[in-house]
A and B are shown apart, each in its own frame.
Chain A
């Protein structure tokens, strides 16, 4: 280098990080195994179920979902979108992508909601978690691929893990916010009836927070979908992999087909989960 900036070799920090990751890997081996098994089973379960269904049943389900949460027209449009993806010859990879996305969302909620609740209840915990969440959200998502491979090897589970880290923070944040924002008088009225902490959480705080949490599900799902291509770099199958292949081969037609399929999926998932969230908004209260 031609400037005179003093150079310090910081490799030892990298060494520490590596040692730390190793330590994590051995200490929490059980946990990682647990995550691996759960993710693996869930992905395979969903994928197996979807491919067990005749293709037209899935189209009908998509139509019904669109109809129920949006309109008849939307339902028909969404079914048509999926039909198009099928005609591209991408049916199987579409199912894999859906399975990965749903699994990521499912696990995000499973971990994120309890953490959000804990943060709402404990100022200390919230204070501790905040910088971690900030880091998780601002770190370029490519970085997550490294520990993902390290812990889970190449494949769909790594994809879920990387997606998880990326999509978890909004769930946690929204849950905390939603629970903290429940109307004070409503909390007090529950308290004045002699509710226990658990009853309060189950019967009042969570149900009251649900509309906001549902809005979070919409966000999480979109983020999971956004990770699809990136995650294919750690060997995830699905539409993302097709995009990756098309880049390598400079195959414009495959790239377009896979890309537009992801867009279709995004539109459908966004509209349907958005519609579900709106349902929950209905009896939010008067103020």
Chain B
């Protein structure tokens, strides 16, 4: 599928003669060196990426890494010094004033870090602004605005002024205002950074909820890794104006492209990112329900384990057998059914590690990872859970210090 947005070699340079710096960028001269030599600041350094339709694409990076400069290129609040920004196959940089106006009115809208609300307008007046600009009739724009106000849970506040609302509510107004235009693309520049942690978490969930319903293409900026990995389908990491890695949260977590990124994700709470399917292993010893006890013993011996999951012909989980029970059962001439332990802890493959931890601590047997049809997908041992909480970087550090 053609990506919704595709940017190619985008650079944004601040200074008196931005274009003159482009050759240096092409040669790969560093941001610091360019600043020292030419006194120009490189906001975005040769960035290329693709954002798919309906995806929540997060850009993260430390302060000053160029996130805002980049996101503001998508609606041309910043005009890139070089490069192409293709949206639905059209390079928006080539738009004339009229086309740009239409593009901003119809296709894209933005939520700001400090909300950017119109303090002289009520909540309703704020939310209907985008429609007013498009000369919608008063009745029509107020109806749409009210729908959006309700959507973000602000019904009853429509006649209040922004300074009468809490920060969280103000940002809901910001969100409603940008959704009122029904844009394809939603730009969010650190929309929750100004909110306190509790409200922030609430807003994150709300955004996920809204995204579930509306399926917008969202570009979301944050410098909080936990936030990035929580809401991002894919995440881009920026440093010194460059995009240094793009991938799903799991990909970045498992294989950070460089020290900068590993540093970045060092203090992330991995248990909230990783799911069962990321840490499970393939079940090595599997016994079918119709197999005999002898087969079960052989399976376990060959794999060097002391228990085996039992599945039916559709690979649906039936239970588990331990080597002790099986040996005992052979003596007593019992069948597999007789020694089968049905009370197995099962885990959905999308369950997060933080929810698995308590179960892993209690369980006597390996945890069975199943999908929604009860089919066995993998298994998790206690050691997997614990090791998943330690990042690659730390493991390496430990090995070094131990040897």
Contact = CB atoms under 8 A, between A and B. Distances in A.
**Are A and B a genuine interacting pair, yes or no?**
yes
Interface stretch (A100-108, A193-201, A219-227): A193-201
A30 B117 CA distance: 45
B181 A193 contact: yes
B161 interface: yes
Nearest to A184: B116
A285 interface: yes
Contacts of A192: 75, 77, 104, 108-110, 187
Interface in A70-108: none
Contacts of A196: 101, 133
Given A194-B105, A285-B162, A189 B120 contact: no
Contacts of B181: 193
Contacts of A194: 100-105, 130, 133-134
Contacts of B113: 185
A208 interface: yes
A190 B174 CA distance: 12
Interface string A179-222: 00001011011111111100100011001101000000000000
B242 to A, nearest CB: 25
B216 interface: no
B132 interface: yes
A286 interface: yes
Contact of A193 (B115, B120, B130, B163): B130
B118 to A, nearest CB: 6
Contacts of A203: 129, 132-133
Residues of B in contact with A, size category:
20 to 34
A283 interface: yes
B114 interface: yes
Contacts of B170: 286
A194 to B, nearest CB: 3
A207 B162 contact: no
B167 to A, nearest CB: 8
A8 B280 CA distance: 100
A134 interface: no
B14 interface: no
A282 B281 CA distance: 63
Interface in A264-287: 282-287
Given A199-B133, A285-B162, A185 B105 contact: no
B157 interface: no
A208 B133 contact: no
Given A192-B77, A194-B133, A203-B132, A208 B114 contact: no
Contacts of A188: 77, 110, 112, 116
A210 B170 CA distance: 22
A185 B112 contact: yes
B77 A208 contact: no
B119 interface: yes
A191 B101 CA distance: 9
B162 A189 contact: no
A185 B163 contact: no
A208 B125 CA distance: 14
Given A193-B105, A195-B133, A186 B163 contact: no
Contacts of B133: 193-196, 199, 203
Contacts of A208: 118-120
Nearest to B119: A285
Given A185-B115, A188-B77, A190-B118, 19 more contacts: A183-B116, A185-B113, A185-B116, A188-B112, A193-B129, A194-B102, A203-B129, A203-B132, A207-B120, A210-B120, A283-B119, A283-B120, A283-B162, A283-B163, A284-B119, A285-B117, A285-B162, A285-B163, A287-B114
Interface of A: 183, 185-186, 188-196, 199, 203-204, 207-208, 210, 282-287
Q: Shortest 5 CB-CB distances between A and B: which pairs?
A: A285-B119, A194-B104, A189-B116, A194-B105, A185-B116
8 contacts: A188-B112, A190-B129, A192-B75, A194-B103, A194-B104, A204-B118, A208-B119, A285-B117
